[in-house]
Amino acid sequence: MRRLGAVAALSAVVVAAGCGADKGVSTQSSPVPPAVAQMTPLVGSVPFAPIPFKGSDGLTHLVYELWVTNFTSGELTIRDVAALDAASGKQIGELDTGSLEHRVYPAGAKQPTNVLQPGQAAMVFIHVPLADEKLVPQQLTHRVQVTAAALPPGSAQVTEQLAPTTVDRRTLPVLSAPLAGERYIGADGCCDAPRHTRAVLPINGQLYLAQRYAVDFEQADAQNRIFTGDPKDPKSYQIFGKEVYAVADGTVVGTRNDLPEQTPGTYPANIGVDEADGNFVVLDIGNGFYVNYAHMQPGSVRPKVGERVKRGDVIGLVGNSGNSVAPHLHLHVMDGPSPLAAQGLPYLYDTFTTTGQVASTGAFDAAEATGIPLALVADATRTEHTDEMVLDQNLVTFSR
């Protein structure tokens, strides 16, 4: 989905603490003394465990969220978050104050801040890149440093440990190319672009991040221009009308094919959640993995719900339907058939070539908005990749 929003609104967060003992709990003394109790002004958990994967940069990545609540009556500032190997206590990643200012989103807020008001909950978006898969621990915990107004005398700063979680080691799907050709831009991709990786949505009483590993593929011409000609005509865009391919054998479990093309350049007004993906296909590719393709041309979606498709089958054409500002193919993998009410899962491509790197999200946005050539990182080398994820702003060739 094209930039649905960072963190969707939540009306309230209610936290309660009980003071009575549960029935049936033994009150007999234990030969093992209890751990020393520590008041922790910030409480938290990891709602969906990280799944390690290898990116096009050759690193192994952990991408996940820490859900925290300021459990005090005063303002609290998160100063530092360190990811630790729970077994050894060794630090594997850290977010300092400068990073946290851009990675902490209070519930219902569209702008980040690491300062939480009394009782306020927030999502901390964490990305840990590691040089080797062998460095990924079996279990993580987190050392968090906070300052708070409402702490016991002499305790203006507290360091606490919270949110132990076991790393998810499931086997990831290896996909074939969803497109064919040169100079596809992996826009708003993993792992730090906020438009997808932070698009938490409250649906049916739960929080979901279906777009955790989503990517928007656009395409540049030989002069590195995303479009030429009339910017309000979808046909002016290099990617418009390109064939979209099934990335694996699968069963079609969701489609839509009747929504009109949007005028590029601005987001459409009053798009309902049921139309956000535009014309789409969801494939069940087995083992709990589902692939969502979004924003295709009206009338171009070929398969019907219940049909089987083979890897490489044409399933539609790239368009600009739904919540889209420019023609592109949105793709993400998730753990259920709903494009929104599911958790995003990592995935790998069997083979692709990176031929460059867009300088920044800002450079991409400028090229998309004005038609100027993409600003690229100087001296980027052409690299072949096998069983890796396309990362944010990679310039990619997909062969068939």
Residue type at position 186: G
Q: Is the pLDDT of residue 151 over 90?
A: no
Place 275 in a pLDDT band, splitting at 50, 70 and 90.
very high
How far is 262 from 95, CA to CA, in rounded Å? 39
Q: Is the pLDDT of residue 145 over 80?
A: yes
What's the distance, CA 114 to chain centroid? 20
Mean predicted confidence (pLDDT) in 162-166: 97
The rounded radius of gyration (Å) of the Cα atoms in the chain is 23
Place 208 in a pLDDT band, splitting at 50, 70 and 90.
very high
Domains and CATH numbers, the chain: 42-166 (2.60.40), 174-398 (2.70.70.10)
The kind and range of the H/E element at 146 are strand 139-148
Specify the pairing of strand 174-175 against strand 348-357: parallel
Look up tokens 């107004």; give the residue.
149
- Structure confidence at residue 34 (pLDDT): 52
Q: Are 198 and 66 in contact (CB under 8 A)?
A: no
- Structure confidence at residue 35 (pLDDT): 63
CA trace torsion 209, 210, 211, 217 (10° rounding): 180
Q: Is the pLDDT of residue 11 over 50?
A: no
Q: Is the pLDDT of residue 380 over 90?
A: no
Mean predicted confidence (pLDDT) in 124-146: 97
Specify the pTM.
0.90
User: What would the pLDDT profile of 21-73 be if each residue is shown by its tens digit?
Assistant: 333 333 343 444 556 777 889 999 999 999 999 999 999 999 999 999 999 99
Q: Are 367 and 374 in contact (CB under 8 A)?
A: yes
